[in-house]
């Protein structure tokens, strides 16, 4: 059986390097290419050099056409603008995408939905098995605990270099709450509180963002009443769990037809 050829968009980032190492050690897959921006200092390098390995035969390129031609599936941990371009090329070349890029706007998410009519796509703000279970539990609890008795606060912490806030995972948890309560997240969110008029509104979903050090990712969902607190929490020890989830999604997606899928589909979660 031939190996699945996987390309990594955003290959020189922290997640990209973690993926390079993981895929290079997998018997069913190989790395066919790495994509980066035109001004990236790693352009032209062998991908193995990014992880101090001599066993990879692929280079870092900014040529999207060349990159897509050599891949079966693309794993995308890049930037919102790059993800939009990847959707265009994915449709043009008929290649499936696993999208883990965070900080995507509603407009870009709509473009993902449209592209999925022509190609298979797995899109998730977090590829972790544990986080996806947490999302399902959050949705379930939200449907049980009414919004007049239980306030919901979502707390997240990441390393000091993370650029988007709240994290994509925190927003996905917020969507899980909103879905459980059948409300619109963006009409019922409190993302920034400042000044003396910051009292929370009944039924809103609050977000708190912490940044510091080298924290990989911590997320908590708190259901708070006047009498008790129910807390769901997930802590990521390192990035390898996200890479493992993304690779699992890529292998799974290679056998699927056009459509938009989530990690819930990949993991067959039924809570």
119 and 13 part of one domain: yes
CA dihedral 124, 128, 133, 134 (to 10 degrees): -90
Q: What percent of the chain has pLDDT over 70?
A: 99
246 and 165 part of one domain: no
CB 62 within 8 A of CB 41: no
CB 249 within 8 A of CB 263: yes
82 and 147 part of one domain: no
pLDDT at residue 1 greater than cutoff 60:
no
CB 180 within 8 A of CB 135: no
163 and 146 part of one domain: yes
User: String of b and e for 139-150 (b: at least 16 CB within 10 Å)?
Assistant: bebbeebebeeb
Q: What is the CATH number of the domain that holds 161?
A: 3.30.360.10
pLDDT at residue 271 greater than cutoff 70:
no
User: String of b and e for 161-179 (b: at least 16 CB within 10 Å)?
Assistant: ebeebbbbbbbbbbbbbbe
Query: Which residue among 95, 139, 158, 234 is the active-site one?
Result: 158
162 and 246 part of one domain: no
Q: For the residues 90-104, what does the mean pLDDT come to?
A: 94
18 and 142 part of one domain: no
Average pLDDT, whole number, for the chain?
A: 94
141 and 221 part of one domain: yes
Cβ burial of 204 (10 Å; 0-12, 13-18, 19+) is: middle
168 and 258 part of one domain: no
CB 68 within 8 A of CB 90: yes
Domain that holds residue 180: 129-236
8 and 110 part of one domain: yes
Instruction: Tally the domains of the chain.
Output: 2
219 and 253 part of one domain: no
**What's the token pair of residue 23?**
């895929």
DSSP for 68-113 reads HHT-SEEEE-S-HHHHHHHHHHHHHHT-EEEE---S--HHHHHHHH
Estimate to the nearest angstrom the gap between the alpha carbon of 70 and the chain centroid. Answer: 24
Q: For the residues 219-223, what does the mean pLDDT come to?
A: 98
What interhelical angle do 240-253 and 14-24 show, nearest 10? 60
Q: Tell me: the pLDDT tens digits for 132-185?
A: 999 999 999 999 999 899 999 999 999 999 988 999 899 999 999 999 999 999
Residue 26 a catalytic site member = no
**CA-to-CA distance for 248 and 271, rounded, in angstroms?**
20
**CA-to-CA distance for 75 and 93, rounded, in angstroms?**
15
Query: Which residue among 14, 45, 162, 256 is the active-site one?
Result: 162
95 and 142 part of one domain: no
**What's the token pair of residue 92?**
């043009």
60 and 100 part of one domain: yes
Q: What is the CATH number of the domain that holds 250?
A: 3.40.50.720
Residue 158 a catalytic site member = yes
DSSP percent split of the chain into helix, strand, coil, nearest 5: 35, 25, 40
Q: Tell me: the pLDDT tens digits for 4-57?
A: 999 999 999 989 999 999 999 998 999 999 999 999 999 999 999 999 988 888
């Amino acid at each position: 059986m031939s190996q699945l050829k996987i390309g990594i968009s955003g290959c020189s980032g922290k997640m990209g390097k973690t993926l390079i190492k993981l895929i290079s050690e997998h018997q069913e897959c190989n790395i066919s290419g790495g994509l980066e921006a035109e001004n990236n200092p790693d352009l032209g390098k062998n991908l193995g050099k990014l992880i101090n390995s001599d066993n990879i035969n692929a280079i870092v390129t900014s040529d999207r056409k060349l990159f897509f031609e050599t891949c079966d599936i693309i794993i995308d941990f890049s930037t919102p603008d790059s993800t939009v371009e990847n959707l265009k090329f994915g449709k043009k070349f008929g290649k499936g995408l696993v999208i883990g890029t965070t900080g995507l706007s509603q407009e870009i998410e709509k473009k993902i939905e449209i592209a999925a009519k022509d190609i298979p796509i797995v899109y998730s703000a977090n590829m972790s098995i544990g986080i996806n279970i947490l999302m399902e539990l959050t949705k379930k609890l939200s449907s049980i605990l009414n919004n007049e008795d239980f306030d919901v606060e979502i707390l997240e912490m990441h390393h000091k270099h993370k650029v988007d806030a709240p994290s994509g995972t925190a927003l996905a948890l917020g969507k899980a709450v909103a879905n459980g309560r059948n409300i619109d997240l963006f009409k019922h969110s409190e993302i920034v509180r400042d000044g003396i008029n910051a009292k929370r509104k009944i039924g809103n979903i609050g977000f708190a963002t912490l940044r510091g050090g080298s924290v990989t990712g911590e997320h908590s969902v708190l259901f708070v009443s006047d009498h008790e607190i129910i807390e769901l929490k997930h802590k990521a020890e390192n990035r390898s769990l996200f890479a493992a989830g993304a690779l699992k999604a890529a292998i799974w997606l290679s056998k699927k037809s056009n459509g938009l899928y989530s990690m819930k589909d990949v993991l067959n979660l039924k809570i």
